[in-house]
Structure formats: C-alpha cells, structure tokens
Amino acid sequence: MADVHLRTVSYLEHALKDQHNLVVLFGAACFSLAFASPVPLLVSAGGELLWLSLGPRLPAFRDWVDRRLSIQYLARAEAAIEGALGELSEHDANRFRVLSGRASQLVASACGRLPARELQLGLHGLLELRRTFLDYLFLGQRVDALADATPLAEREREAAQLQESYGATRELTVRMTIRQALAGLQRGISQQTALGGLRRSIELRLGMLEKSVPYLESRLLDPAFEQLGPEIDNALAEIGPAEALELAVDQIFDPPPASSGL
C-alpha cells in the first residue's frame, strides 16, 4: 500500500514536460527564426527525441521525479490533515499530534539508515498509518455522538418494569402501548450495547496503531532491517481500515433486511 502512489508515475510524461526541455526547444526555435534556418530547431528536436527515449529509463531521472512528486503529495496530504484536526476534540487532536511526533522521530532515525527508496516508501506508509489513526478518531467521535448518556442498567430496570406492567394488565390497548414502548426500549438497549462493543474495538485499534510506531523504532535497531514500507503495510493489514467498523455503525441503526428463505 505504501508505494501505490509511486507506482502510478508516468516518467515519459514528466520527461516531456520538463521545463528544461521546453526552454531548449523555445531557444532553438528563436535561433531558427533569427538565422532563417531550420537547422537549430531540427538539432534541438533530434536531441529532444533522444532524451525522451533515454531519459525516462535513467534511474537518476526517475529518482528525481519520485522525490519531487513525493514532496508535493506529502505536502498536500499534510495540509488536508491539518484542516481535519480542527473538527476533532482537543483530546483527540493532541493524541494524533503525539502519534505524528513519534512518526517524525522514526523518520529522523531512519534517515541515513535506510536506502533513499525505502525511506520514501516509509514516509508514504507512515502517512497512511496516520490517516488510518485519524479515520478511527473520527469514527470514535461519531460513535460517542450516537451513544446515549443514560446508564444501561437504568434502561434495563425500565425494561423490567415495563415487562412486569405488561404481564399485570389485561386491557388490550394498554398492553399494546406497553409492548410498543418495551420494543423500542429493547431496541435502544441493543443498539447502545452494540455501540459500546464498537467503541471498545475502535479504542483497541487506536492503541495498536500507537504501539506500531515504537515497534517500528525497535525494528530499526536491527542492522539487517531495510524495508520500512512493508513493515508498515503488515501493521495496517493486521489492524484493518476503519471502513469496516463504519459500516457496522450504519447497520446498527439501519440493519439489512432479512432474506426470505424458500
């Protein structure tokens, strides 16, 4: 996952759009006009074709393109993250900043320790890890907003009282009213219980993400360790994305229709 962005690069396109090429072609065109000769432009065009055939294959050019695109991509991502932090509680925003600080320390430790390509993949992997942490923070905030402040034990006592009243009365209209109230209360208890389970699951995954950075720091102490990106990918695969729990929240309040068996 960490190298998805880097794998989608068209080096030929970047070689063609490189401003140095455009400057040379423009200069050659000016010389051709000034001397009324197509030779400068033809020579420049030939050099351009040679560059386009060789340049995109050169490791140095590819590394230069990757670094430039990586810097731009990470800068846009950081700006988006900074904007999103304003929508979190101060506690959650500070929690995210602590994780980001540990990630920055990890990158500082990896500089000069890992090959440039692996360090670049590690930067993108850590961005994905921090984004996943942010997703779980927002999901936790949503679950907290849906949670009812009424203690579950109080709701259960109320349900028991309704059940007792239902059994004690024989008046049909009253029984129907009690039954509807009891069904709504039991549904609410079930929803709040499920939300509580999801909140614990969210907190578990947040904790796993927080612990993954110190684990990666310990892996850097191994002299043979060189692949930070795959290690981050493995940690994220173990934790899983927030989308699955997001869907579970939706299903608590809007469960899928039961399939009719034939």
pLDDT classification of 253: cutoffs 50, 70, 90: confident
Q: Which two three-digit tokens encode residue 66?
A: 């990757």
Q: What's the pLDDT at 211?
A: 95
pTM over 0.75: no
Amino acid at 241: P
Question: For residue range 110-145, what is the model confidence (pLDDT) as tens digits?
Answer: 888 888 888 888 899 999 999 999 999 999 999 999
pLDDT classification of 200: cutoffs 50, 70, 90: very high
Question: For residue range 1-50, what is the model confidence (pLDDT) as tens digits?
Answer: 444 445 555 665 655 555 555 555 555 566 566 666 665 555 555 555 55
Place of tokens 């006592």: 157
Strands (DSSP E) found in 57-167 = none
CA distance 61 to 55: 7
169 vs 109, more confident:
109
120, with CB counted inside 10 A (0-12, 13-18, 19+), is buried
